[in-house]
């Protein structure tokens, strides 16, 4: 029976069993001379040279009344705690008689897992004390509808599977999931990116959501269970995205497509995506928990270059002749007792005045110094913006060895900070380090430091692979950090608790007949109505698309004016007033007035603003105030022009167009809706030219 630490003693190079070949980028030669580049510096061609490939996994909570496999309410968010359950994770043999690498990693962390329960949102099913109830039929219908929207081939029966979930966020250790459809495609058209092709959708699953994490400190992780079991769809694309902005556009397209069912949950955490990235010569790395589409391009760019930088480091190690055999440490004893590469350094550092080490000594903790042969100068190499290769080690120590209280590690590439020269010299001598060797020092409780030292060697061995198979967590600044080593390939197995659920042809036919309009169909319709492609696409995904439809603009000019005003004004008003969209019956009179010519086009936005600012204001009153009437007070324009020309003397010497812009800004607000702006401009231009001269009086 393998010991917990034997999980990654795979032969040199790949990690068989942990990563199927499809995880490798189809191009095997890395362009190692490609310079490290900031986000925003590269063209689509540059990404092609890099072999950049990316795909998405989009999770969307459904707005159903109940959870997927029990009758608890879905979508209930609470901070109340009625009780707590404590669990420990232990690895068990899989049905194939093997340990899963991911399970072993979680076991190594020796975590205490706490579930906070609230009576109204959780029952014994979520805590694995009762078998699942029949799958929620409403959720199945929505999932089928989404699958149809993506043109997927539907399954004839839902087969519930168990997907291993070992981070503790699901108490059973697995997630129940059922594939609903597979192998589809949707039109992917983004003219500003030069994209006009299909986006292949690999599959859509209906699954239960995991717990919300409350905190994860040291050896204790706390989860809240209200979200656990909420139905969600998981949409997986093929890696068909070849630039960072394509990833973003695809994310938006998928979200909009799922949303067109009108049956999805909104708000924090309701939609989450993972993205995978690889470059030539690398393997697919999954970035988990991307919070927003806005962040996607930077995240995937940064990950592409992390991979490139790791592959450059591998090339350098190869050049230096480093082998895996040089990076081994004894397994059965404390690492500093059985290896010339590791030293318990408390005595060398007993006079150290670097505060973190000093504190560790005072706390009687263990301080280990590790020699990495030929790694000198590499730990300081940049892998991500503001992040060096050393972070790859520090992340593993934090996550797997649970070292906390940063900093818990320092290395010899750092100069003039931390340990002084004499201390480094002593450590080098004690470890018999040569010129190009690097020294890593870490400190903490003894058992954690023992795990940490083993982890340092495992990560150093991974440096010879280049890009280790792991999942990584997306951060809000666009960088990412180690989350866990990749789960085993065989992490899905049938759920014996749930019988297959047949999908009736009649249900599919009914759903197909009433299928929601898809974003690309919607934007096609808006282009027919007179909008340009960008506005049409934007409107098709906007929350006010329904409002626009209800306003029924008839002429293309009115449609354009209304779409543009809604896009400009509604987000602003929603932000400042917090009020929902106005009901269509209030805005419709303005649109009708536009069509009839009784509201001037340029006055529409002001009219809309007036309605949005005061929900009680009758549209008639707004329209009366802005009614066009050239004859109402013919002198008003004359007066305004004369007064403005007089005031314009302060602008003497400025170019005429500048003065004219200023003058329009003075005159128009009072005349808006009443007088054609072209007439005002003509009158002002004539009068100003007489005073300021046609050349603008620049002389
Ligand atoms: Zn329940």
Per-residue confidence (pLDDT) for residue 21, from 0 to 100: 47
Alpha carbon of 203 to ligand 1 centroid (Å)? 27
How far apart, in whole angstroms, are the C-alpha atoms of residue 85 and residue 173? 15
Q: What does the pLDDT look like over 114-133, one tens digit per residue? A: 999 999 999 999 988 899 99
**Residue 634 predicted with pLDDT over 80:** no
* Residue 48 per-residue DSSP state: H
Least confident of 14-28, 280-294, 370-384: 14-28
Alpha helices, DSSP H only, in 363-481? 390-399, 421-430, 446-465
List beta partners, residue 372.
438
Q: How far is the CA of 399 from the centre of ligand 1 (A)?
A: 31
Measured in residues, the chain has a length of 699
476/295 Cα distance (integer angstroms): 7
Q: How far is the CA of 225 from the centre of ligand 1 (A)?
A: 10
| pLDDT surpasses 80 at 675 | no
What is the Å distance from ligand 1's center to 521 Cα?
39
CA of 63 to the centre of ligand 1 (A): 16
Q: How far is the CA of 232 from the centre of ligand 1 (A)?
A: 15
Cα 117 to averaged position of ligand 1 atoms, centre (Å): 11
pLDDT average, residue stretch 343-370? 93
598-616 pLDDT, tens digit each:
888 888 888 888 888 888 8
The answer to whether 643 touches 683, Cβ cutoff 8 Å, is no
Task: Compute the distance from residue 213 Cα to the ligand 1 centre, in Å.
Answer: 18
What is the CA(215)–ligand 1 centre distance, in A?
23
Find the mean pLDDT for residues 237-255: 95
User: Is the per-residue pLDDT at 688 higher than 50?
Assistant: yes
Query: Are 688 and 666 spatial neighbours (Cβ–Cβ below 8 Å)?
Result: no
Distance from the alpha carbon of residue 212 to the mean position of ligand 1, in angstroms? 15
The full 3-state SS of 621-675, as one line of letters, equals: HHHHHCCCCCCCCHHHHHHHHHHHHHHHHHHCCCCHHHHHHHHHHHHHHHHCCCC
Distance 278 CA to ligand 1 centre (A): 39
Is residue 3's pLDDT more than 90?
A: no
Q: Do residues 692 and 659 lie in contact, with contact meaning Cβ atoms separated by under 8 Å? A: yes
pLDDT, tens digit (0-9, with 9 covering 90-100), for 128-170:
889 999 999 999 999 999 999 999 999 999 999 998 887 889 9
pLDDT value at position 103? 55
Q: Which pair of structure tokens corresponds to residue 267?
A: 């708000």
Ligand 1 centroid to 176 CA: how many Å? 14
Query: What confidence tier does 629 reach under pLDDT thresholds 50, 70, 90?
Result: low
pLDDT band at 659 (very low <50, low <70, confident <90, very high): confident
Ligand 1: distance of its center to the CA of 265 in Å?
A: 19
CA 124 to centroid of ligand 1, rounded, Å = 6
Tokens (6 digits) for 46: 């540059």
Q: How far does the centroid of ligand 1 lie from the alpha carbon of residue 492, in Å?
A: 23
CA of 177 from ligand 1 middle (Å) equals: 16
Distance 141 CA to ligand 1 centre (A): 20
Please state the φ and ψ torsions of residue 617, each to the nearest 5 degrees.
Answer: -75, 125
Distance of CA 133 from the midpoint of ligand 1 (Å): 9
Residue 213 in tokens: 């994490």
Number of alpha carbons in the 13 Å side-chain half-sphere of residue 554 = 8
Residue pair 244/305 in contact by the 8 Å Cβ criterion: no
Separation of CA 66 and ligand 1 centre (Å): 9
Sign of the Cα torsion 378, 384, 385, 389 reads negative
2 pLDDT more than 80 = no
Cβ-Cβ contacts under 8 Å for 23 (sequence gap 6 or more): 278, 283, 284, 469, 486
pLDDT at 432 over 90: yes
How far apart are the CA of 119 and the centre of ligand 1, in A? 10
Q: Mind listing the pLDDT tens digit for each residue in 476-498?
A: 999 999 988 776 555 788 888 88
Question: What is the Å distance from ligand 1's center to 74 Cα?
Answer: 9
- 379, 385, 391, 395 alpha-carbon torsion, rounded to 10°: -160
Q: Taking residues 189-203, report their average pLDDT.
A: 93
Q: How far is the CA of 129 from the centre of ligand 1 (A)?
A: 10
Distance CA 624, CA 9 (A): 81
Dihedral, CA atoms, 568, 573, 574, 579, nearest 10 degrees?
-140
pLDDT at residue 18 in the model: 38
Helices then strands, counting H and E runs in the chain, come out as 21, 23
Cα(647) to centroid(ligand 1), Å:
73
Q: Rounded to the nearest whole angstrom, what is the distance from the C-alpha of residue 122 to the centroid of ligand 1? A: 4
Identify the DSSP state of 109. T
Q: Cα(209) to centroid of ligand 1, in Å? A: 12
Distance 164 CA to ligand 1 centre (A): 20
Sign of torsion over alpha carbons 468, 470, 471, 476: negative
Distance 75 CA to ligand 1 centre (A): 12
Residue 346: both structure tokens together: 């408390």
DSSP string, 458-518: HHHHHHHHSS-SEEEEE-TTS-EEEEEEPPPTT-EEE-TTS--EE--HHHHHHHHHTPPPP
135 CA to middle of ligand 1, Å? Answer: 12
- Measure 114 CA to ligand 1 centroid, in angstroms: 18
Cα-to-centroid distance, 73 and ligand 1 (Å): 8
User: What is the spatial distance between Cα 136 and Cα 143, in angstroms, rounded to a whole number?
Assistant: 11
Contacts of 287 (CB under 8 A, 6+ apart): 274, 275, 276, 277, 299, 300, 303, 471, 472, 473, 474, 480
> How far, in Å, from the CA of 167 to the mean position of ligand 1?
20
Ligand 1 center–CA 635 separation, angstroms = 74
Quote the strand ranges of 155-300, DSSP E. 157-158, 160-164, 174-190, 195-208, 212-217, 220-224, 231-237, 271-278, 285-290
- The least confident of 199-208, 212-221, 500-509 is 212-221
Instruction: Using the mean position of ligand 1's atoms as its centre, give its distance from the Cα of residue 132 in Å.
Output: 9
Cα(260) to centroid of ligand 1, in Å? 28
Ligand 1: centre distance to CA 219 (Å): 28
- Tokens 């949707």 sit on residue: 186
Q: Could you tell me which residue, 575 or 560, shows the higher pLDDT?
A: 560
Q: What is the mean pLDDT of residues 553-562?
A: 92
Phi and psi (nearest 5°) for 545?
A: -60, -40
- Rounded to the nearest angstrom, the distance between the alpha carbon of 149 and the centre of ligand 1 is 30
Are the C-beta atoms of residues 389 and 381 closer than 8 Å to each other?
yes
How deeply is 549 buried, as exposed, middle or buried, from its count of CB atoms within 10 A (0-12, 13-18, 19+)? middle
The answer to whether the CB of 531 falls within 8 A of the CB of 559 is yes
Going from the Cα of 305 to the center of ligand 1, the distance in angstroms, rounded, reads 44
CA proximity to 205, closest of 182, 171, 238: 182
Is the pLDDT at 564 greater than 60? The verdict is yes
State the distance from the centre of ligand 1 to the C-alpha of 94, rounded, in angstroms.
Answer: 27
- What is the per-residue pLDDT for 699? 36
């Amino acid at each position: 029976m393998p010991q917990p630490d034997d999980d990654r003693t795979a032969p040199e190079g790949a990690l068989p069993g942990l990563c199927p070949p499809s995880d490798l980028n189809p191009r095997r030669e890395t362009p190692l001379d490609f310079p490290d580049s900031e986000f925003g510096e590269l063209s689509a061609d540059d990404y092609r040279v890099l072999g950049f490939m990316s795909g998405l996994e989009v999770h969307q909570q459904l707005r159903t009344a109940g959870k997927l496999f029990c009758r608890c309410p879905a979508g209930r968010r609470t901070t109340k705690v009625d009780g707590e359950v404590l669990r420990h994770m232990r690895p068990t043999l899989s049905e194939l008689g093997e340990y899963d690498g991911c399970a072993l990693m979680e076991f190594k962390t020796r975590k205490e897992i706490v579930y906070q329960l609230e009576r109204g949102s959780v029952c014994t099913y979520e805590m694995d004390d009762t078998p699942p109830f029949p799958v929620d039929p409403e959720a199945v219908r929505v999932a089928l509808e989404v699958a149809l929207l993506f043109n997927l081939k539907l399954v004839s029966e839902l087969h519930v599977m168990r997907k291993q979930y070992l981070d503790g966020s699901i108490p059973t250790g697995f997630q129940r999931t059922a594939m609903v459809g597979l192998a589809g495609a949707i039109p992917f058209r983004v003219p500003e990116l030069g994209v006009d092709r299909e986006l292949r959708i690999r599959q859509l699953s209906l699954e239960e959501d995991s717990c919300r994490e409350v905190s994860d400190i040291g050896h204790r992780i706390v989860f809240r269970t209200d979200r656990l079991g909420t139905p969600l769809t998981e949409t997986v694309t093929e890696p068909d995205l070849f630039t960072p902005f394509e990833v973003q556009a695809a994310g938006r397209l998928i979200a909009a497509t799922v949303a067109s069912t009108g049956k999805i949950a909104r708000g924090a955490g309701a939609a989450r995506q993972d993205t995978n990235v690889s470059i030539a010569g690398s393997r697919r790395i999954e970035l988990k928990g991307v919070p927003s589409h806005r962040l996607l391009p930077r995240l995937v760019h940064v990950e592409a270059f992390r991979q490139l930088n790791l592959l450059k480091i591998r090339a350098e190690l190869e050049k230096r002749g480093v082998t895996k055999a040089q990076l081994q440490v004894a397994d059965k004893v404390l690492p500093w007792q059985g290896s010339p590469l590791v030293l318990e350094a408390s005595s060398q550092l007993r006079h150290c005045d670097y505060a973190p080490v000093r504190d560790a000594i005072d706390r009687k903790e263990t301080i280990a110094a590790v020699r990495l042969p030929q790694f000198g100068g590499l730990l300081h190499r940049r892998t991500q913006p503001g992040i060096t290769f050393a972070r790859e080690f520090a992340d593993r120590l934090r996550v797997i060895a649970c070292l906390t209280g940063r900093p818990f590690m320092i290395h010899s590439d750092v100069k003039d900070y931390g340990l002084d020269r004499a201390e480094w010299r002593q450590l080098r001598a004690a470890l018999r380090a040569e010129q190009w060797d690097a020294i890593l020092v870490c400190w903490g409780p003894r058992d954690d430091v023992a795990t940490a030292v083993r982890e340092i060697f495992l990560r150093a061995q991974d440096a010879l692979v280049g890009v280790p198979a792991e999942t990584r967590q997306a951060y809000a600044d666009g960088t990412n950090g180690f989350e866990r080593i990749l789960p085993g390939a065989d992490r899905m197995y049938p759920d014996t608790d749930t019988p297959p659920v047949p999908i009736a042809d009649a249900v599919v036919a009914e759903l197909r007949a009433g299928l929601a309009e898809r974003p690309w169909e919607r934007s096609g319709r808006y282009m027919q109505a007179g909008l340009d492609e960008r506005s049409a696409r934007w409107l098709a995904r906007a929350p006010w698309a329904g409002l626009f439809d209800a306003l029924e603009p008839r002429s293309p000019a009115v449609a354009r004016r209304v779409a543009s005003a809604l896009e400009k004004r509604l987000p602003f008003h929603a932000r400042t007033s917090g009020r929902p969209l106005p009901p269509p019956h209030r805005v419709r009179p303005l649109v009708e007035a536009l069509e009839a010519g009784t509201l001037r086009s340029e006055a529409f936005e002001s009219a809309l603003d007036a309605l949005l600012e005061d929900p009680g204001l009758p549209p008639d009153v707004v329209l009366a105030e802005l009614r066009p009437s050239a004859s109402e007070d013919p002198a008003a324009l004359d007066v305004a022009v004369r007064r403005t020309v007089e005031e314009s003397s302060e602008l003497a010497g400025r170019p005429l167009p500048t003065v004219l812009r200023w003058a329009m800004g003075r005159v128009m607000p009072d005349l808006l809706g009443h007088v054609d702006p072209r007439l005002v401009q003509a009158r002002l231009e004539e009068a100003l030219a007489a005073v300021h001269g046609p050349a603008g009086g620049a002389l």
